[in-house]
């Protein structure tokens, strides 16, 4: 829906991004409450009446236009380009070099994320598969009394093996919601998974090496090659505070959902640091070093995986000197029982909904849903996590008064009372921590 403004032509998405109130006036002829000719124009554009039009916030582009519909969604909506990989579902292709693919929310409708629906996040190339996975070596060095080099087989036989359901989320999940647009892959809500992981606790391995009092930070290394091909450059090499490394749920894992880890997800071993940015969960894991100072590897410092300590002007340049590392991820809910853009049969008067929610190191206290643009909210039932750091499934029902165009708004609240905001908070150049209330469009009849 291109709109002409002077000599320049802008899409409706661009117009609403730059000036939402003017977007209302030019696109639908409204200023203030949606009514009369403006209501008719918007309804015609959406292809249905808008039962809760009086509650639609001024300057808000309908979700049907603001967010790409799924392949089976509303007529006329362009489907995103999908990944073509044996064994993988139709993930949204975010980039081919490096390979990155997002899981549509409706494919996350399973308590434990399957290989088919597990999102892909790479920073470099995918290394060749190990000839003998059990002979794969992992080194522990730096501020330890006894540096170790252990094979995967030795790790499994020497330390207690545990299995946990653990959520892992890309630090840039939700980046697409920032305005002005932030740098990087434009993830929606689907750079998230909650698989069942089997491995050994990192703390057991570090304690076996004998941590010195000066061991305050970690640095992680993997076998993934830099895209330049330079063997002296790391694709990603991040680290964390020692407290997180010693958390009982921070693991060195070698099985995913009871099977050897697939190559694209880090075989034969990776770190799993649940609740914090997934970039810490080093794939193709080869080494961890302990140090007295924060690690300075690729992906550390500046604006990389860091957010402003005090707000900055959206769209401004910043070197990140006053930023701090993004650690525990913010609360977020997803809707998995119905795809954005779905058309339902005429006469549908209620919807049974379900999804998942998580909150980094915290838990989720509530999930609420609105179908009248936030005028009223319905509390959903939120289940307890399978274990600490697993996501929580939620279910509930909402009523629809008639046929027409509706938006399902859904938001989570964490155990400390923080609720998903209406707009992504704390704008930053690389778009971390964007967790606004989400909206899914549906057409009834």
- The pLDDT value recorded for residue 70 is 47
pTM of the model: 0.92
- The pLDDT value recorded for residue 57 is 85
Phi, psi angle pair for 41, to nearest 5°: -65, -45
Rounded CA separation 411/335 (Å): 10
Rounded CA separation 341/78 (Å): 11
Query: DSSP H helical segments within 210-302, as ranges?
Result: 242-245
Rounded CA separation 321/327 (Å): 17
The residues of the chain scoring below 70 in pLDDT are 1-10, 15-16, 24-27, 30-35, 37-39, 42, 68-79
Contacts of 202 (CB under 8 A, 6+ apart): 245, 246, 250, 251, 252, 271, 288
Count CA within 13 A, CB hemisphere, residue 209. Answer: 24
Domains of the chain: 2-61 (no CATH), 120-325 (3.90.420.10)
Which 8-state DSSP code applies to residue 26? I
Phi, psi angle pair for 399, to nearest 5°: -100, 145
CA 89, distance to chain mean position in Å, is 17
- The pLDDT value recorded for residue 27 is 65
Rounded CA separation 360/329 (Å): 4
Q: What pLDDT, in 10s, does the model give residues 161-184?
A: 999 999 999 999 999 999 999 999
Both structure tokens of 53: 């039009």
Q: What pLDDT, in 10s, does the model give residues 253-298?
A: 999 999 999 999 999 999 999 999 999 999 999 999 999 999 999 9
Rounded CA separation 313/316 (Å): 6
Rounded CA separation 162/388 (Å): 13
Contacts of 242 (CB under 8 A, 6+ apart): 211, 215, 216, 217, 218, 290
* Nearest Cα residue to 366 out of 345, 380, 348: 380
- The pLDDT value recorded for residue 39 is 66
Which 8-state DSSP code applies to residue 18? H
């Amino acid at each position: 829906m291109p709109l002409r403004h002077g000599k320049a032509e802008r899409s409706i998405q661009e117009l609403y991004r730059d000036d939402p109130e003017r977007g209302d006036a030019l696109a639908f002829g409204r200023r203030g409450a949606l009514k009369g000719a403006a209501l008719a124009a918007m309804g015609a554009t959406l292809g249905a009446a808008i039962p809760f039009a009086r509650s639609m916030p001024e300057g808000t582009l309908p979700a049907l236009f603001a967010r790409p519909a799924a392949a089976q969604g509303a007529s006329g909506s362009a489907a995103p380009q999908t990944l073509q990989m044996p064994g993988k579902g139709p993930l949204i292709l975010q980039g081919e070099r490096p390979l990155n693919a997002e899981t549509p929310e409706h494919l996350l409708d399973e308590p434990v994320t399957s290989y088919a629906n597990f999102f892909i996040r790479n920073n470099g190339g995918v290394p060749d598969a190990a000839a003998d996975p059990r002979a794969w070596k992992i080194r522990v060095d730096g501020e330890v009394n006894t540096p170790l080099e252990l094979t995967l087989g030795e790790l499994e036989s020497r330390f207690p093996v545990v299995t946990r359901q653990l959520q892992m989320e890309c630090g840039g999940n939700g980046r697409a919601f920032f305005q002005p647009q932030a740098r990087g892959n434009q993830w929606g809500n689907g750079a998230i998974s909650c698989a069942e992981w089997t491995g050994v606790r990192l703390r057991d391995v570090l304690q076996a090496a004998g941590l010195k009092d000066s061991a305050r930070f970690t640095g992680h290394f993997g076998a993934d090659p830099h895209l330049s091909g330079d063997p002296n450059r790391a694709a990603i090499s991040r680290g964390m505070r020692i407290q997180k490394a010693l958390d009982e749920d921070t693991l060195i894992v070698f099985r995913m959902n009871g099977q050897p880890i697939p190559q694209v997800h880090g075989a034969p071993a990776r770190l799993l640091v649940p609740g914090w940015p997934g970039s810490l969960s080093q794939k193709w894991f080869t080494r961890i070093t302990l140090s007295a100072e924060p690690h300075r590897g690729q992906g550390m410092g500046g604006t990389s995986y860091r957010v402003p300590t005090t707000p900055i002007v959206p769209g401004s340049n910043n070197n990140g000197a006053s930023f701090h590392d993004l650690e525990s991820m913010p609360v977020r809910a997803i809707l998995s029982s119905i795809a954005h853009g779905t058309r339902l049969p005429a006469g549908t008067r209620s919807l049974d909904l379900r999804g998942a929610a998580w909150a980094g190191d915290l838990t989720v206290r509530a999930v609420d849903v609105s179908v009248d643009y936030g005028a009223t909210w319905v509390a959903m039932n939120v289940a307890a996590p399978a274990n600490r750091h697993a996501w929580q499934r939620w279910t509930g029902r909402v009523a629809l008064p008639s046929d027409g165009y509706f938006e399902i708004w859904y938001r989570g609240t964490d155990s400390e009372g923080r609720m998903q905001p209406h707009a992504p908070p704390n704008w930053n150049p690389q778009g971390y921590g964007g967790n606004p209330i989400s909206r899914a469009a549906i057409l009834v009849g």
